[in-house]
Amino acid sequence: MTNGINRRQFIRLAGFGAAGAGLAYSGLNPWGLSAHADLTHTGSGVREIPTFCELCFWKCGVIAKVKDGRIIKLEGHPGHPLSNGRLCPRGNGGTGLTYDKDRLRQPLIRAKKRGEDVFREVTWDDALDHIAEKMIYIRDEWSADCFALFNHGYGATFIKHLIKAYGSHSIAAPSYAQCRGPREVGFDLTFGEEVLSPERTDIVNTRMLVLIGSHLGENMHNTQVQEFADAISNGAKLVVVDPRHSVAAGKADWYLPIKPATDIALLLAWMNVIINEDLYDKEYVDKYTVGFEQLVQHVKSYSPEKVWTITGIKPELIRRTAREMGHQKPAVLIHPGRHVTWYGDDTQRSRAIAILNALLGSWGRKGGFFYPGELDVPKPETPPYPKPSFDRVDLQIKNYPLAYNTLASGLCDATFPAPQTNCQLKAWFVYGTNLVHSLPKPQQTMEAMQHLKFLVVSDVLPMEIVGWADVVLPDATYLERYDDLHVGRFREPFVALRQPVIEPMYDTRPPWWVAKELAKRLNLDSYFPWDNIEQYLDNRLATVGLKLSDLKRDGVKVFPRQPLYFEDGIQPEFFTNSGKIELYSSSLAAHGYDPIPVYTEHGEPPQGYYRLLFGRAPVHTFGRTTNNPVLNRVIDSNEVWVNRRVAEEWSLENGGDVILKNQDGVESSPVRIKVTERIRSDCVYMVHGFGHKAKRLTNKKGANDSDLITRYNTDPIMGGTGMNVNFVTFVT
């Protein structure tokens, strides 16, 4: 037996037939946890229950070990393609969330002024009746589109469905405009497809990996990190471009300590060398791309010598790394990154990354970018959603023509009164995202909330945003609830089940239940045509010949691998205007933007100031986990990385505390100083997500970088908020 599922069970997993559904729904408690769940028991009285993780968005398969109704351990599911038997350090600490003593325990309604964080306890009926009443009022007085949903995480699936059924299209996740949106737009403009999540990066087969400001190893996306380790031990070359000597840089063959905000220049210089020295994939470029001649002309002015003066990277290092890419093509992966909202020209930087990959012929090729497997698992038919009353609310103040998804920052802007708007947002439902930390300019977010007629927050913990709510809904954690099926697109397509491994603690409820209960009160039952969640899941699984009882036992069903690369038989097809890979973007040209990326200078830090960079710690997912007592045994605070020479100038001592002050005079809480040679002298670095101020959270250690992000540069193409444009100095 390994991690609770033996080999025979996995053979059975692979051999599911097309047997129909037909589960009896007896024994369900009101939240969908079956009293007779088909769970694996071991001789020791420990039950091993498969589910999938939610400590970050990667959704790794988990085996939860449960004894006497308490989770005693979480392990990686050996048959799940995103975990391969291992969890990352955060995932192992998931019990810390469920058993966090700070958890929200019952529904609350605001008792004093908004933002004072004073509430009275109410019943679920009281809370839901109140929300439904306000939703009807806002729809009748203004429009359903004036009711916005901000969401993060898989639990939001049914809440999103409810809000769409109610008639609102004002639905956004900060993970787009504040994180990976520019990447998706940049790749879509180039290849006609997005990178997707989990990323379609074939790290395990690559012969050369180039990380540009991407901190694999600190960014603990489980499968990527596993593949990264395998690739390095298989001899793959590694280039790391970063102003900070990250964990990944410690493994690099070439580390390029680039001056912040100059990455586009480096990418263009690499293209210059690769084209000039005929190192590109000629056949691939001839066959699949358009705009090569324009690109050749464009990159002529980005010689390594010139780019050295911009980036600080010596010409011989630019040439050496470019030549190695040319030698290793097409199994070269210029990693697209994930959190890419840095300087406001991020779509263009992502375009430059995509173009370089195209020159090397890596899109659709082994060791580059694969084509993920497809699987259709239809949802039950429901009536069509009502049509929007008017154009997207997030774009009414300023339009971004290639913003494919709704901008969370745009919704925040649309909450302020403005003469040109067709709808000032009147209410927010905030599910699982602490907007005060996840949107830039926290002061602006707090001001926006004061304009609202109504604010609902659903969360597990009493985050800062909870203190602003009119109604608080205590969410069940991912270990206590069902969610919708995860239909995964990776090397193999798969279907995974999230199921409760224990009953919800306190008076908490799963989001599917909240959505269905609200639907009842809003006369939207037809959008939830099922009696309970197990019935919904079983019916959905039946469409691909599976039964819920099988998934409850096995956790995941992996379907056969489909072709991954052009060489496997994938027919190259590019959903761009031209039907080819666009080195020159016709769409950008048509909208008046640079059709090929151009390097533009960004502001320098004022004298005595340093660019503020931020990132992740391997055991935390930003502020979502920084109160987790299990993970805090490893890292319970952040520190500010300061170059040794700078520290000497300011008489800063390693391990001492310092207050940071930004260009607008905003000061941080005291934060521990890390004096190091491993960062350039023109920037400082912090892990994001610490420095909580919410009064009912235990861990308030460290400093909150979000407080210092009082400025951002907006990406003119898709509205992303480039946040690495703030500068800080030291208060001594």
Angle of helix 292-299 versus helix 263-276 axis, rounded to 10:
110
Which C-beta is closer to ligand SF4: that of 80 or that of 329? Answer: 80
Nearest residue by C-beta to ligand SF4? Answer: 91
220 makes contact with ligand SF4 (CB under 6 A): yes
Q: Which of 47, 51, 58, 558 binds ligand SF4 (CB under 6 A)?
A: 58
Cβ at position 134, least distance to ligand SF4 in Å: 34
Q: How far apart are CA 583 and CA 575, in angstroms?
A: 14
581 makes contact with ligand SF4 (CB under 6 A): no
Q: How far apart are CA 187 and CA 353, in angstroms?
A: 8
Binding region for ligand SF4 (CB under 6 A) out of 26-34, 215-223, 377-385, 567-575: 215-223
Site for ligand SF4 in 222-241 (CB under 6 A): 222
63 makes contact with ligand SF4 (CB under 6 A): no
Cβ at position 76, least distance to ligand SF4 in Å: 7
Which C-beta is closer to ligand SF4: that of 34 or that of 92? Answer: 92
Cβ at position 1, least distance to ligand SF4 in Å: 21
Which C-beta is closer to ligand SF4: that of 434 or that of 721? Answer: 434
CB 324 within 8 A of CB 695: no
56 makes contact with ligand SF4 (CB under 6 A): yes
Cβ at position 90, least distance to ligand SF4 in Å: 4
371: nearest Cα among 488, 200, 183, 487:
200
Strand order through the sheet with 332-334: 254-256, 237-241, 208-212, 332-334
496 makes contact with ligand SF4 (CB under 6 A): no
Binding region for ligand SF4 (CB under 6 A) out of 85-93, 125-133, 171-179, 394-402: 85-93
Q: Which of 65, 77, 80, 90 binds ligand SF4 (CB under 6 A)?
A: 90
Q: How far apart are CA 698 and CA 410, in angstroms?
A: 32
Q: How far apart are CA 453 and CA 420, in angstroms?
A: 20
216 makes contact with ligand SF4 (CB under 6 A): no
Which C-beta is closer to ligand SF4: that of 58 or that of 482? Answer: 58
SS3 label, residue 517: helix
Q: Which of 5, 28, 71, 87 binds ligand SF4 (CB under 6 A)?
A: 87
Q: How far apart are CA 611 and CA 604, in angstroms?
A: 8
Give the β-pairing of 427-431 and 454-459: parallel
* Two tokens, residue 370: 């694969």
Residue 610 bridge partners (DSSP): 728
Q: How far apart are CA 521 and CA 438, in angstroms?
A: 31
Which C-beta is closer to ligand SF4: that of 81 or that of 440? Answer: 81
CB 128 within 8 A of CB 122: no
Cβ at position 490, least distance to ligand SF4 in Å: 13
Which C-beta is closer to ligand SF4: that of 63 or that of 425? Answer: 63
Which C-beta is closer to ligand SF4: that of 3 or that of 362? Answer: 3
Cβ at position 477, least distance to ligand SF4 in Å: 13
620 makes contact with ligand SF4 (CB under 6 A): no
H-type helices in 421-577, by residue range? 435-438, 442-450, 511-521, 533-542, 548-554
Instruction: Give me Rg for the CA atoms of the chain.
Output: 25
Give the β-pairing of 610-615 and 727-731: antiparallel
Which C-beta is closer to ligand SF4: that of 60 or that of 256? Answer: 60
Site string for ligand SF4, 35-54 (x = CB under 6 A): ------------------x-
Q: How far apart are CA 538 and CA 599, in angstroms?
A: 53
CA dihedral defined by 607, 608, 609, 610, rounded to 10 degrees?
A: 110
221 makes contact with ligand SF4 (CB under 6 A): yes
End-to-end CA distance of the chain: 58
Cβ at position 442, least distance to ligand SF4 in Å: 25
59 makes contact with ligand SF4 (CB under 6 A): yes
String of DSSP letters for 91-142 = HHTTHHHHT-TT---S-EEE-SSTTS--EEE--HHHHHHHHHHHHHHHHHHT
28 makes contact with ligand SF4 (CB under 6 A): no
- What's the number of CA atoms in the CB half-sphere (13 Å) around residue 577? 12
Which C-beta is closer to ligand SF4: that of 220 or that of 239? Answer: 220
Which C-beta is closer to ligand SF4: that of 60 or that of 269? Answer: 60
88 makes contact with ligand SF4 (CB under 6 A): yes
Cβ at position 93, least distance to ligand SF4 in Å: 9
495: nearest Cα among 563, 562, 543, 432:
543
Cβ at position 56, least distance to ligand SF4 in Å: 3
Which C-beta is closer to ligand SF4: that of 441 or that of 486? Answer: 486
Look up residue 193 and give its amino acid: E
Which C-beta is closer to ligand SF4: that of 223 or that of 272? Answer: 223
Residues comprising the chain, all counted:
732
Cα 225 from chain centre: 16
Catalog residues that contact ligand SF4 under the rule CB under 6 A. Answer: 53, 55-56, 58-60, 87-88, 90-91, 220-222
